[in-house]
Amino acid sequence: MTSYKKMTKEELTELSKQLNKEYSEAKAKGLTLDMSRGKPAAIQLDLSDRLLDVMTGTSDFKTENGMDVRNYGALDGIPEAKKLLADLMQVDAANVFVGGNSSLNLMYILVSNAMSLGILGNTPWGKLEKVKFLCPAPGYDRHFAITELFGIEMITIPMSEEGPDMDMVEQYVNHDETIKGIWCVPKYSNPQGYTYSDGTVKRFAALKPAAKDFRIFWDNAYAIHDLYDKGDNLLEIFAECKKNGNENLVYEFCSTSKITFAGAGIAGMAASEENMAEIKKIMGIQTIGYDKINQLAHVRYFKDAAGVCEYMKKHADMLRPKFEAVLNTFERELSGLEIGEWTKPNGGYFISFESLEGCAKAIVAKCKEAGVTLTGAGATYPYKNDPKDSNIRIAPSFPTEEEMKLAAELFVLCVKLVSVEKLLENC
């Protein structure tokens, strides 16, 4: 296909007319599709309905260490749930805390407590003049919303297929003690689907932060969320940290939100012995313990981590066609046009699209006008401010495959339309 960039003004004008006509027709179809969030589809949730049956009619509510899951207690989770999440994160159960239904909530708690109470005896962040976080971007908007809420200054770090720009990360972290944290989605990053390379993980684990209370927020949300039999491999970071005597550096998070129920799974975090002792001390004041019935139900349903991994193949079978519907449409309709680039992830929940500069907001608006809701343009950057206005996050999970095809076709049409207009402006 001819690159739009090589077209004359006349050709672009003609093309614009044709695309506008197509857009009018598309609008007339009256689509109403939501691709804004990484929500599992109903068929994926159906997969786990029987999890709700495993406690049915039972009178056995005891954990392996004899605790009644219906009563108070077990602040850090029941042993078998700690083991399950530990195995999924490839860490030791002693280093795991099982929380409620939301890993995001665990992240919030750790930032919030660092703000008002401080980490391991260091000055509470809220009492410091300046606190900054590094934000690899495009990234996850809900991470950025937490740091923004607390008035933590966010610094954008560019992403590549290897992960965040580690030269920049090292420069900041090792020399600036106002840098207190970094948000990472190390596997199938949100929104690109990149997995940090071994080299990147090793460099993270070897950081020598100027701030003693600098922490990596390692949001391993898609640890086992492969789309294909051969998924990406992420180096386990705590083992690397250990080599450098650096285990306090990382808080890791995971959840079953995209394994069982998005709203009613179990979430966990992993931390070094010293960090975990502090986490438990503070957690013990903010709650008596999280829902242990749901923890036990999850363990009885899956048996073990191998059971979970096997289960993920069913999710992959449901998600793959949707991802491919998008990618095939992009390939067919956009390749060679030089008006956009996109990632081709092996897992996770998103595809990242880079439009021509200054086009993302307009593309999202055009899609919305024709009934397809995308994540707001800019949302993938700190302060919702994408400096190039070019990144769009595509979330293919929620619509059906058929809907996804329609949505992708509308999307590429909007990309073409907005790009042509942008190119005409610059003629």
Binding positions for a second copy, rule: CB under 8 A: 37, 39-40, 42, 45-46, 48-49, 52-53, 55-59, 61, 68-74, 100-102, 104-105, 108-109, 112-113, 115-117, 124, 126-127, 142, 145-146, 149-150, 257, 261-264, 282, 285-294
Q: Least CB distance from residue 218 to a second copy, whole Å?
A: 19
Would you state the structure tokens that stand for residue 43, as one six-digit string? Answer: 């068929």
Q: Which residues pair with 132 in a beta bridge?
A: 153, 179
Going by C-alpha positions, the residue among 93, 112, 116 that lies closest to residue 104 is 112
For residue 45, what are its two tokens? Answer: 């949730």
Q: How many residues does the chain have?
A: 427
Could you give the CA distance from residue 83 to residue 64 in angstroms, rounded to a whole number? 11
Q: Secondary structure of 96-112 in the HEC alphabet? A: EEECCCCHHHHHHHHHH
- Select 194 or 301, whichever has its Cβ closest to a second copy: 301
Q: Which amino acid, one-letter code, is at 43?
A: I
Please state the closest distance from residue 297 (CB atom) to a second copy, in A.
9
Q: How far is the CB of 397 from a second copy (least distance, A)?
A: 11
- Shortest reach from residue 120's CB to a second copy, in Å: 15
238 contacts: CB under 8 Å, gap ≥ 6: 91, 95, 247, 250, 252, 270, 272
Secondary structure (DSSP) of 21-55:
HHHHHHHHT---EEESS-PPPHHHHHTTGGGGGTT
Q: Which is nearer to a second copy, 95 or 256 (CB)?
A: 256
Under DSSP, the state recorded for 213 is T
Nearer of residues 58 and 335 to a second copy, judged by Cβ: 58
C-alpha 96 chain-centroid distance:
20
CB 54 → a second copy: shortest distance, Å? 9
Closer CB to a second copy, 52 or 168, in the complex: 52
Amino acid at 59: S
Q: What's the closest the beta carbon of residue 36 comes to a second copy, in angstroms?
A: 11
Nearest to a second copy of 4, 290 (CB atom): 290
**Considering the complex, what minimum distance in angstroms separates the CB of residue 216 from a second copy?**
20
